[in-house]
Amino acid sequence: MDVEALLEVMDGEPVRPEIMAAPDGCGLRPYPRCGGDYFALDQLLLGEGESESWRSAGPEVLLVVDGSLRLRHPGGELALEQGQSALLQPGLACEAQAGRLALAYRAFCPMAG
């Protein structure tokens, strides 16, 4: 490692983290976009039996972090447990329903316009 080169590009200023408030209630909540216009992340928090609907604008990945979800779309339905994910195709009308308290994240590339 070139320590001198590393020291040239480092500044010693402390980083002030941005503290995000905890979401209030359930549903689909967007995170602040740290990826600019290229990447976005939404949190999906649903209580037992609750559901949320959306239409995918582009390819999306839905990752279940805790609990379970039943994902319905025009082509059928898919049961997702903790640690499982689904790739959603563009233009898909989706509904996610929690089997029990469910926490999932939806990653996607926002469409321009």
Determine, yes or no, domain membership for 26.
no
Domain range holding 102? 41-113
Determine, yes or no, domain membership for 96.
yes
For the segment 20-61, what is each residue's pLDDT rounded down to a tens digit? 565 566 677 766 666 566 778 889 999 999 999 999 888 999
12: left (phi over 0), alpha (psi -120 to 50) or beta: alpha
Q: From residue 111, how far is each of 60, 91, 108 by CA, in Å? A: 12, 12, 9
Q: From residue 75, how far is each of 4, 87, 94, 112 by CA, in Å? A: 58, 13, 10, 27
For the segment 46-104, what is each residue's pLDDT rounded down to a tens digit? 999 999 999 988 899 999 999 999 999 998 999 999 999 999 999 899 999 998 899 99
pTM for this one? 0.70
Determine, yes or no, domain membership for 20.
no
- 112 pLDDT higher than 60: no
* Cβ(87)–Cβ(71) below 8 Å: no
User: How many domains is the chain partitioned into structurally?
Assistant: 1
Domain harbouring 68, CATH code: 2.60.120.10
